[in-house]
Each structure stands twice: as C-alpha cells, then as structure tokens.
C-alpha cells in the first residue's frame, strides 16, 4: 500500500481551511497533516508536519504567501507549493512561480480542479488554472512587462518583508500607533517604514497606496470603499 501525500494548508480564513481539509481528507491520495493561518506559523510547522505539498494563500496577515513560499522553497526545495488566490493577476502569478511555487489556482476553482492541480504537482509537473487568461500565461512565459518604467510587482519586490507587512496594515486601515503596538515597534520606526515604502512604490499618499494595493490584488477596492463609508 502506497503512502498518501502529506498536505499542509495555509490560509488565514478558517472556513476555507475547513473546506480544503475536508476535500483532502476525502481523497484517496492525500492526507491533511497540518494547517496554518499565517506565513510565520507555516514556517514554524514545516519540521513538525513534514509536508509533501502545501496549499498557500497569497494574502496572509503577517507576510505575503509569496514570501512564505520563497522561504519554504529555500528550506525544503522538494516540497511542492500550490498557490491559491482570489485573483488571477499577472503580478502575483509571475512572482509565485519565481518564488518556487509549481502551481496556481483561483479560490473559485472546483474541488475536482484543486485535486487535479495537486495531482499534477505530485507528478512533478506545473499547473496553471484554466481560469487564468491566455494573456496572463503568455506574459508569464515570455517575461514581458507592459510598463517600461517598472511594473507594479517590480516595485513591490523592493520592499523588505517588514515594509510589506506595514503596507498591508496601512491599507487595511490601521493607524501608525496601532501598527506599532501590533508589531512591537516604536512609532518612529513605523513612520520610517511608511516613508520608505511609499518612496519605493512611488506613491504620495494613502489613497494612492490603496489603489496600488488593489492593482496587486492585496485588497478588494470595492470592499475598502464600503468600509470607509
């Protein structure tokens, strides 16, 4: 009898983790060996869970799933990483594969599609969800950039992990004082991170920063507008 592939599920939404865990548990070829709601927790559980495959959300509370995937790939290059995202955006997909992911599916994918992706990765193949447009696929494999002045994903990669973390908290509505308390930083350090990240991203105020984050798919702009009203 062959051993089932060990799967770790990384997503900050408990309901989505529950659904994916149920899907994995019903499969004859896979078993769920661990869950994490953040990138830091996923890294911490690697040695304990010893996964063969990881499903990784892109939007995590402490670091991006792409950053977590990059670190996991460095630690354990044999582990297959399947990125799961709300948005089939070029910037995310390209960066995910550069970080070491082998597959990318959108969260709206059917159960059969998710298993199909996991099967492909287990065979050592790459997998790209059929809902991803042909234009996106062509851009990934051609390496072309539409913006000659530097694309949005290029600027984002200039940020340190801490600056990315601060950026996410800013666009989610946290004040500098709240960020300082949450991350155990001084207010001056947070303000320095804020200044540096806005300079690197070439944005000048919070609204521009929110629009930039929306283009990357880090936030849903319509939901953000609703929260502001």
Concatenating the DSSP letter of every residue in the chain gives -PPPEEEEEE-S-HHHHHHHHHHHHH-SSEEEEEEESSHHHHHHHHHHH--SEEEEES--SSS-HHHHHHHHHHH-TTSEEEEEES---HHHHHHHHHHT--EEEETT--HHHHHHHHHHHHTT--EE-TTS-HHHHHHHHHT--S-TT--HHHHHTTS-HHHHHHHHHHHTT--HHHHHHHHT--HHHHHHHHHHHHHHHT--SHHHHHHHHHHHTSS-HHHHHHHH-
Task: Looking at mean pLDDT, say which of 92-106, 153-167, 180-194 comes out highest.
Answer: 180-194
What's the angle, vertex CA 155, arms to CA 136 and CA 172, rounded to 5? 90
**Higher pLDDT, residue 167 or 216:** 167
Question: Do 159 and 153 contact (CB within 8 A), yes or no?
Answer: no
> Percent of the chain beyond pLDDT 70?
80
From CA 100, how far away is CA 81, in angstroms rounded? 7
pLDDT of residue 43: 95
User: Residue 195: is its pLDDT beyond 90?
Assistant: yes
Task: Looking at mean pLDDT, say which of 60-69, 191-200, 204-213 comes out highest.
Answer: 191-200
Mean predicted lDDT score pLDDT of the chain: 82
From CA 48, how far away is CA 6, in angstroms rounded? 12
Total number of residues shown for the chain: 229
User: Residue 144: is its pLDDT beyond 70?
Assistant: no
From CA 118, how far away is CA 103, in angstroms rounded? 8
What's the angle, vertex CA 56, arms to CA 12 and CA 81, rounded to 5? 165
**Higher pLDDT, residue 133 or 140:** 140
Q: What are 224's two structure tokens?
A: 């953000």
pLDDT of residue 223: 46
User: Residue 148: is its pLDDT beyond 80?
Assistant: no
From CA 34, how far away is CA 163, in angstroms rounded? 28
pLDDT digits (tens, 9 = 90+) for 35-67: 999 999 999 999 899 999 999 998 888 888 999
């Amino acid at each position: 009898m062959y051993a089932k592939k060990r799967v770790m599920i990384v997503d900050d939404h408990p309901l989505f983790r529950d659904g994916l865990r149920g899907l994995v548990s019903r499969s004859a070829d896979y078993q769920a060996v661990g869950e994490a709601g953040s990138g830091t927790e996923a890294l911490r559980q690697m040695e304990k869970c010893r996964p063969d495959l990881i499903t990784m959300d892109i939007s995590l509370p402490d670091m991006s799933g792409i950053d977590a995937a990059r670190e996991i790939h460095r630690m354990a290059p044999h582990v297959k990483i399947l990125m799961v995202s709300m948005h089939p955006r070029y910037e995310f997909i390209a960066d995910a594969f550069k970080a070491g992911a082998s597959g990318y599916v959108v969260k709206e994918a059917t159960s059969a599609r998710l298993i199909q992706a996991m099967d492909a990765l287990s065979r050592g193949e790459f997998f790209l969800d059929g809902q991803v447009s042909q234009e996106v696929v062509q851009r990934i494999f051609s390496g072309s950039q539409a913006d000659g002045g530097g694309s949005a994903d290029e600027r984002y990669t200039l940020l340190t992990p801490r600056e990315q973390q601060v950026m996410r908290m800013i666009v989610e509505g946290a004040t500098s004082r709240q960020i300082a308390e949450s991350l155990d930083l001084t207010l001056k350090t947070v303000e320095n991170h804020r200044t540096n990240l806005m300079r690197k991203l070439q944005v000048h105020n919070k609204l521009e920063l929110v629009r930039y984050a929306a283009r990357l798919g880090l936030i849903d702009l319509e939901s953000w507008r609703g929260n502001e009203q």
